[in-house]
């Protein structure tokens, strides 16, 4: 045999030893333990991401909640973070404040109270977090900044926490501090003081709920700030931390993460970061934005939730792969378990973590997600390689006597689409403290002493269906409605709430009222005019009718609209066909929400504090409108946009009422 052939033989033997025999990994608690595990969670809000969930009929709504929160059933979430509504657009819509005005308090607005109670009903131990993304205008006292008067802002936030307990018996565990521009140490200290003064010493602060810096460095040098902050929380860390954050000695959380389309690549993203947030960044909690994709699909960040529930009218929902990826960790651990120090990356790519309850139980989670099958929306993911590999785990210390582990397996198959999710397979024997497993790419395994895992299921929900072709809502409610918003309306600027006329109701006893009268303090560009959308984004030819009532004398104005093409954070540039009437007796039809592109205009005779019926009809390239059954104009010519939602709204931040809304879709030929 020549030297070249000998080299090939030796190389083949070496490769077989290193790959076929595999690599060895010790799991040992003798050397000490790592950080305490705080949980995996979902985020409702930031904003209005659970808007359509509340409108599902039973049993489908409860089924969705079970997949999210019920222990050992689905995702079994351990943390629920919600938006403290601020009357402002915060990504996919607005959520109502508990204090629209300084002298106003109402702790039954919105749906986050309901959602927290439903989560607690299923898991009494779930951790609850509140975070304001925006604030009513009065908090900023005319400025688009909440910290010019930090005592007002602190009192506002604390009132929400107190109201959660007083009216809903909900104990909020943490409150977040968040702003896109910077963190405010004076406010954080004042919030800690206000919490303590209000008997809320147990409520801890997460800061800055944005970036690692500058807060990490400031916490190191500022003892008062160090005492005020319990958790350093970061958004989208890319599984990495910074040295200064570790030096603080604080718990580190990825307090907002994921935000990725929930197909199988999204599931792969979630699998990778759940492990590597701890392996790389020592983060002990990871919270998904968002909890459930329950908003109109053509709003920004479509399907960026752990599951999808965007059709309350049909009852259809989809249990997406991130639900079962979450279960790999949450069904076999609890907050308070501890990571082992012996966690890390596999030699041939992927990662592993191990946790214990320090009572003899052990859970190991492995992931071998390849780069292209685990890309998250942010930040950019550097290139890396993963190959199939054989690994051997050696259980040492208090785990040496374990003889068998339960096994749960997921495999993403991007070639033949035969993906397997959260499958309970044959237990693996542990011989003399060791076991081996062949790991293919794009796999997740859980090896655990915990025996009560379950892949929960219900009968398939109804099939997907478009929004009803004909839809009516008279906004009539008896007594206090369960939710303050009308079904299926998605507020994009302003807040539209049920309202009961107490003085001179006439035929309009119960209406929908726009209640925000001052531009809110917000990090997203709210429109200058309020708007709430409804329906099917693909609708083209449509008739919309609604009774309207302007409350502002001389300056009032309202609209109804069709083919509305934008919402969320880009709502300022919304186009469509808008029919406006004003309290000064005029009307106009515009091609945009800003009211600048005028298609028709004239005198309407409308005035404030009188009910009128507006009807807007669009077919093809022509639009017509009626006021109380009489034509305002016919056949205004329009070209764009070709489709979009229906909508109602006001010409400014002003009080106005709506009643007897109806829409009818015309089939295209």
- Name the residue with higher pLDDT: 180 or 234: 234
Strand partners, 637: 622
Query: 8 pLDDT band (50/70/90 cuts)?
Result: very low
331 SS3 class: coil
- Model pLDDT, residue 237: 98
Q: Give the CATH number of domain 470-665.
A: 2.60.120.560
* 112-122 vs 60-69: helix crossing angle, rounded to 10: 60
594 SS3 class: coil
Query: 262 pLDDT band (50/70/90 cuts)?
Result: very high
Q: Average pLDDT of the chain? A: 94
- Name the one residue in this structure whose structure tokens are 């939710």: 483
Domain ranges of the chain: 25-373, 470-665
Residue 283 pLDDT greater than 60, yes or no: yes
- Model pLDDT, residue 526: 87
Lowest mean per-residue pLDDT among 3-17, 200-214, 619-633: 3-17
Residue 437, CB-side half-sphere exposure with 13 Å CA sphere: 30
Query: 16 pLDDT band (50/70/90 cuts)?
Result: very low
Residues annotated as catalytic are: 180, 256
**pLDDT, tens only, 645-655:** 999 999 999 99
Query: Token digits for 657?
Result: 């009422």
Query: 225 pLDDT band (50/70/90 cuts)?
Result: very high
Mean pLDDT of 44-62: 97
Q: Give the phi and the psi of residue 284 in degrees, each rounded to 5.
A: -105, 0
Contact between 239 and 281 (Cβ < 8 Å): yes
Contact between 282 and 252 (Cβ < 8 Å): yes
**pLDDT, tens only, 323-356:** 999 999 999 999 999 999 999 999 999 999 999 9
Residue 19 pLDDT greater than 50, yes or no: no
- Model pLDDT, residue 471: 97
**pLDDT, tens only, 457-516:** 999 999 999 999 999 999 988 655 578 999 999 999 999 999 998 776 678 989 999 999
Q: How far is CA 98 from the centre of its chain?
A: 20
- Model pLDDT, residue 328: 98
Contact between 130 and 45 (Cβ < 8 Å): no
Give burial (CB, 10 Å; 0-12/13-18/19+) of 237: buried
Q: Give the CATH number of domain 25-373.
A: 3.20.20.80
Mean pLDDT of 247-263: 98
């Amino acid at each position: 045999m020549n030297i070249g052939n000998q080299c090939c033989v030796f190389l083949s033997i070496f490769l077989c030893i290193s790959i076929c025999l595999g690599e060895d990994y010790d799991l040992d608690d003798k050397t000490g333990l790592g950080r305490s595990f705080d949980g995996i969670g979902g985020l409702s809000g930031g904003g209005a991401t659970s808007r359509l969930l509340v409108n599902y009929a039973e049993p489908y709504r409860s089924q969705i909640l079970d997949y999210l929160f019920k222990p050992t059933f689905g995702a079994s979430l351990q943390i629920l973070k919600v938006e403290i509504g601020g009357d402002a657009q915060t990504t996919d819509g607005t959520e109502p404040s508990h204090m629209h005005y300084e002298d106003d308090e109402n702790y039954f607005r919105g749906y986050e109270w309901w959602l927290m109670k439903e989560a607690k009903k299923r898991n009494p131990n779930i951790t609850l977090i509140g975070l304001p993304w925006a604030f009513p205008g009065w908090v900023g006292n005319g400025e688009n900044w909440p910290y010019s008067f930090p005592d007002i802002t602190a009192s506002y936030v604390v009132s929400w926490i107190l109201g959660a307990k007083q009216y809903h018996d909900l104990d909020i565990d943490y409150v977040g501090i968040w702003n896109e521009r910077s963190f405010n140490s004076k406010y954080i200290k004042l919030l800690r003081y206000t919490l303590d003064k209000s008997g809320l010493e147990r409520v801890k602060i997460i800061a800055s709920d944005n970036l690692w810096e500058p807060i990490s460095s400031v916490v190191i040098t500022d003892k008062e700030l160090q005492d005020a902050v319990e958790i350093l929380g970061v958004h989208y860390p890319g599984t990495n931390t910074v040295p200064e954050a570790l030096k603080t000695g604080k718990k580190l959380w990825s307090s907002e993460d994921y935000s990725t389309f929930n197909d199988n690549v999204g599931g792969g993203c979630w699998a990778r970061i759940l492990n590597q947030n701890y392996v790389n960044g020592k983060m002990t909690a990871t919270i998904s934005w968002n909890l459930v994709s329950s908003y109109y699909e053509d709003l920004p960040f479509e399907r960026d939730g752990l599951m999808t529930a965007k059709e309350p009218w049909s009852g259809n929902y989809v249990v997406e792969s991130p639900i079962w990826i979450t279960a790999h960790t949450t069904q076999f651990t609890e907050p308070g378990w501890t990571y082992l120090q012996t966690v890390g990356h596999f030699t041939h790519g992927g990662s592993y973590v191990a946790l214990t309850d320090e009572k003899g139980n052990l859970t190991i989670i492995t992931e071998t997600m390849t780069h292209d099958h685990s890309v998250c929306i942010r930040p950019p993911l550097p290139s890396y390689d993963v190959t199939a590999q054989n690994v051997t785990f050696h259980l040492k210390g208090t785990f040496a006597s374990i003889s068998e582990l339960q096994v749960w397996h997921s495999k993403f198959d991007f070639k033949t689409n035969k993906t397997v999710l959260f499958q309970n397979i044959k237990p693996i024997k542990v011989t003399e403290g060791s076991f081996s497993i062949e790991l293919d790419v794009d796999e997740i395994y859980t090896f655990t002493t915990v025996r009560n895992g379950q892949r929960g299921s219900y009968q398939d929900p109804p099939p997907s269906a478009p929004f009803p072709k004909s839809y009516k809502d008279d906004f009539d409610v008896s007594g206090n409605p369960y939710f303050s918003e009308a079904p299926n309306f998605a507020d994009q600027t302003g807040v539209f709430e049920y309202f009961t006329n107490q003085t001179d109701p006439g035929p309009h006893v119960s209406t929908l009222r726009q209640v925000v009268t001052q531009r809110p303090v917000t990090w997203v560009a709210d429109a200058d005019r309020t708007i709430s959308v409804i329906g099917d984004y693909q609708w083209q030819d449509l008739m919309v009718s609604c009774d309207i009532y302007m409350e502002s004398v001389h300056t009032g104005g309202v609209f109804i609209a069709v083919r509305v093409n934008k919402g969320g954070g880009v709502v300022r540039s919304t186009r469509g066909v808008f029919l406006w009437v004003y309290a000064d007796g005029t009307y106009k039809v515009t091609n945009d929400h800003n009211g600048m592109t005028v298609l028709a205009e004239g005198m309407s005779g409308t005035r404030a504090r009188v009910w009128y019926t507006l009807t807007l009809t669009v077919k093809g390239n022509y639009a017509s409108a009626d006021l109380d059954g009489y034509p305002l104009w016919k056949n205004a010519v329009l070209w764009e946009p070709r489709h979009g939602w229906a909508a109602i709204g006001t010409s400014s931040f002003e009080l106005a009422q709506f009643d007897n809304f109806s829409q009818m879709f015309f089939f295209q030929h």
